Structure 1
Amino acid sequence: MTSSMVVPVIDVQNDNFKELWPAMVLAIKTASFIALDTELSGLGNRKALLAECIEDRYKAICNAARTRSVLSLGFACYKKLENKDDDTYLVQVYNLTLLCSEEYVIEPQSVQFLVQHGFDFNKQYAEGVPYLRGNDRGVDAHGMNIRMLFVELLRARKPLVLHNGLIDMVFLYQCFYAQLPDKLGTFTADLSQMFPAGIYDTKYATEYELRFAASYLEYAYKKCKLDNSKSIEAGGGGRHLFLEFCNYSGPLSNYVDYRPCLAGFSPDGLLNVCQRFSAYGWCPNGSQCPLSHDTDLIIQHDEKKKKRKRKRKNSSQGKVEGAPESKQPHMELKQNQVIPDKDTKPPPVTELVDGAQAQGPESDEKMKTKVEEGNGVREPQAVSIDEEMKTDKEEVERNGVSEPQPLATPDAKKEESKRKKLEGGTHRAGFDAFMTGYIFSYAATLTERVGKPPSTESWLPECLNKVYLSGKSVPMHIVKSTFSKSFKAHLHKMDVVWGKGVVSKVEGTV
């Protein structure tokens, strides 16, 4: 059903950074919005990242950002083409390989995960763009470097789009902007000034606006792509999303990594779906798992479940199903829960009252309930940390119910392996930024607000400046409180961005 496309991703490293500088800055300045993603060297204490108190959670992320580093930065510039009848964007994607020039912690667990998904550490240490964390030092605020590229991003005043973006924002601030403030309120106050056009989190949008069965990045992207294709094929009114890419030629073509996004063609019913991967976008067995990690097949099964549920409801109630009920809010994670490492075994399968199978509880997951749409039946759900906060596992709302499926055949497993190899792994910063931008632009088409100036109307009003918080029923709001003052380092940095004294005249310091 979905159409294939090839996404050109420009690889940027130290030897071509200055050559590509004009193109990157132009893409940023002319974009309608910019999607970002990072790959990190680690996150430290996973339990602290899910602290019940958000202030404590912020402190744990700050500690990670001050001691660890950004290994790669991806950004995708989406430019709305006004001369098109439909919602068409010109997309430019960049993947920057970075190298922190001072000591930093690198976690074997994160390294292993990144290597499995194609990250080249030899390339990083040989050709990574150098940078220093914290406040500007000497020439940091001048010339063509990663910190000044971040300044150009701020000067552009474009909406910033991330997926599960709290950790990304903390690392971006510490690594490319200034020393992090100690208080969360100060941090959010600074962000509201840094990005006046707004910050959007596509994980929040996926959970609370699109209401997909899962919200990890690859699932959300492919579900948006599938729904958009269905809408186009069905014809009729409404908005549809179309993308265009630049044709790179000459020396620039040597830096382009063409990433194929293949159309979903999984053989119907030939493979068992890995329930852990289906729920979280992560499996401790990785490529050795005997079950399918094919996201297209997972979505296919979810679509079937949804149709059967609708059919059962209609037959039992004798009427057409209406709008879905509101989702049950996330419950708090317990303080004594332990976030497992990658060696944790998958949860055992337990039996529900109706005979369906579901994931059993384990130490790193909090069982919660959600009112099933239409029938009011409550089933257990598991909540865990998000994709090891971008490098490990993804926390999502899922019902975890599996169904009898035919065993995987050798040919089918071989075909899936071949496809995954051709398609390339996700969790590459540049391509992840592209997927993040796609989700946002598709969600915006549904609101019929795309193409209007962001200064007069928000792209996604219900998602503006709301950042997803794992295990919480409400998002983190990016606003300046009347009780918060901007950080001194931030005020100094804003002088660099906007000119001396522009912000300092109206702000206090802490």
Structure 2
Amino acid sequence: MSMSRESPSKPLMAPVYNDITKENLHSQHHAIKNILSRASFLAFDTEFTGLGNKQDGLHASNLDERYENMRNSVKNHALLSLGITAFEEISKEDTSSLEQRYNVHNFNFTLFCRHEYKVTPKSLEFLLANGFDFNKQIRHGISFYPGNDSSRAKPEDHSSIMRSIFAHIHTLNIPIVVHYGLMDLLYLYYSFYADLPERMSSFIADLSEMFPAGIYDTKYVADYVTRERATFLAYLFRKYEREQEEWKSQGIKRHVIIRVQDRLPPAALSDCMNSRESLNENGKRSNGSKSYCEQYAYHGVCHEKMNCGKSHDLNLILDDHEHKKRQKRRKIDKSSRNEDTRRDVKSKVSNTSGTYHTAFFDAYMTGYIFARHLVHLKEDINTQKNKLYISGKNIPLLVEKSKYGKTSSAHEEKKREKVRDEVGALHGNASDDSTIKD
């Protein structure tokens, strides 16, 4: 029987995850597909070797030009790790219950691209600062070849297995969730599906057919629907987790309960799994008297990095934001003087900067945020389907096939190949039946 852990509980540990490398991919990929098949939705995050320079046009005002520049960036850089989190909704026997429960499986795929690629120094610094293990990536990374399928590839090759997992996801017809996810989707498509189409309209048309249940971008929802004060991933996760814990303790609003499942039965390199033991090893809260970094509080990035003398503790930032919100309410309504006497729910995480940016953990946080949206936005969440956040634009990129947009030739060939495989399987079954009758 699989043991599970509920989150939040006690000082938060980095959630249990399955560390998938070249040593255990072959033995685990069937179990991975089975878990993905049970999911209600999947959350994704990627880590890659860089974006390029500012002058590379990744923020061009013309979206077709921007896509072309992003496409070139993806083809010249490489995916380093992929995080997938599967959220399986648990049916409720008591329909009046305020709890919405999910069983959750986390997967972190360490990858090793076999094509030549560029590396951006700032990206390396960022990854190293957040604990990315390049030695492990080189020694144990799953080899893959991006772009179109190779005629020489064998089904047992690591690259073929990764493509089969991605192809399996297309068949599930469940929502796909990302956070500021256009670049993630470009990397996933190029690494495990096909060469990126030259036109953005074809890429969008392909995505709309590949993921018919829709793609949801939690950054877009946070910016334009819930109108959050800050919308970077770690901030939203910490805010919503505190909120959910408070609502659970009060028992007055629907809330999300997450049960992070134990990792799959151990295979090779099990000692690498869950290597990040705790977000704060000493378990102590940051000094509340220390002022926090305003730049980090609103953008999730600090240009001073390790030299910044101010706190990046999200609990400290959120405590201050909540305090200011209460002060504002008191100014509007003097009758709420007892506001400060209410019980503050203590946070379950200590210092929350510096250990977030791993692919599996970012995928987990993205999925948690979406689970919260499902509970509190309810039917309204459907109106946010297929809207990707685009920097510098006040409207989203719509993932829908236009009457002028055509799917790519590579995508059409994939569809024909699928039909051929299905026909071949039917003929194979018919031959087996005739053999049995004889």
Q: Distance in 2 between matches of 1:294 and 1:84?
A: 39
Count of aligned residue pairs for this structure pair: 391
Matched with 1:14 is 22
Matched letter for residue 101 of structure 1? R
Matched with 1:475 is 396
282-291 or 213-222, which moves further after superposition? 282-291
User: What secondary structure sits across from 1:76 in the alignment?
Assistant: strand
Matched with 2:72 is 63
Q: Distance in 1 between matches of 2:106 and 2:369?
A: 15
**Which protein has the bigger helix share?**
2
TM-score by length of 2: 0.83
Q: State how 1:225-240 maps to structure 2 within 5 Å.
A: 225-236=241-252, 238-240=253-255
Q: State how 1:404-423 maps to structure 2 within 5 Å.
A: 420=351
**Judging changes above 3 Å, is the alpha-carbon distance between structure 1 residues 307 and 112 closer, same or farther for their aligned structure 2 residues?**
same
Q: Distance in 1 between matches of 2:416 and 2:177?
A: 24
User: What secondary structure sits across from 1:219 in the alignment?
Assistant: helix
Q: State how 1:95-494 maps to structure 2 within 5 Å.
A: 95-140=108-153, 142-143=155-156, 145-236=161-252, 238-248=253-263, 251-252=266-267, 254=271, 256-257=273-274, 260=278, 266=285, 269-314=288-333, 420=351, 425-448=355-378, 460-494=381-415
| CA offsets 1:480-503 (integer angstroms, 9 cap, x no match) | 00111111011112334565699x
Q: Are the counterparts in 2 of residues 12 and 255 from structure 1 also a CA contact under 8 Å? A: no
| CA offsets 1:203-257 (integer angstroms, 9 cap, x no match) | 0111122222100010011111011111111212x31100112234752564531
Matched letter for residue 82 of structure 1? S
Q: Distance in 1 between matches of 2:419 and 2:189?
A: 17
Q: Distance in 2 between matches of 1:304 and 1:211?
A: 18
426-435 or 304-313, which moves further after superposition? 304-313
Root-mean-square deviation (CA, aligned residues, Å) is 2.7
**Judging changes above 3 Å, is the alpha-carbon distance between structure 1 residues 169 and 215 closer, same or farther for their aligned structure 2 residues?**
same
Q: Are the counterparts in 2 of residues 97 and 124 from structure 1 also a CA contact under 8 Å? A: yes
Matched letter for residue 152 of structure 1? H
Of all paired residues, the percent bearing the same amino acid is 34
CA displacement at 1:310 relative to structure 2: 2.4
CA displacement at 1:420 relative to structure 2: 4.5
37-46 or 132-141, which moves further after superposition? 132-141
CA displacement at 1:140 relative to structure 2: 4.2
| CA offsets 1:430-489 (integer angstroms, 9 cap, x no match) | 11100000000011111345xxxxxxxxx8212100000111111110000011111101
Matched with 2:84 is 75
CA displacement at 1:95 relative to structure 2: 0.5
Q: Distance in 2 between matches of 1:249 and 1:147?
A: 21
CA displacement at 1:42 relative to structure 2: 0.6
Q: Are the counterparts in 2 of residues 154 and 497 from structure 1 also a CA contact under 8 Å? A: no
Q: Are the counterparts in 2 of residues 155 and 498 from structure 1 also a CA contact under 8 Å? A: no
Matched letter for residue 35 of structure 1? A
Q: Are the counterparts in 1 of residues 18 and 264 from structure 2 also a CA contact under 8 Å? A: no
Q: State how 1:38-49 maps to structure 2 within 5 Å.
A: 38-47=46-55, 48-49=57-58
**Judging changes above 3 Å, is the alpha-carbon distance between structure 1 residues 307 and 495 closer, same or farther for their aligned structure 2 residues?**
farther
CA displacement at 1:260 relative to structure 2: 4.1
Matched with 1:370 is none
CA displacement at 1:271 relative to structure 2: 1.3
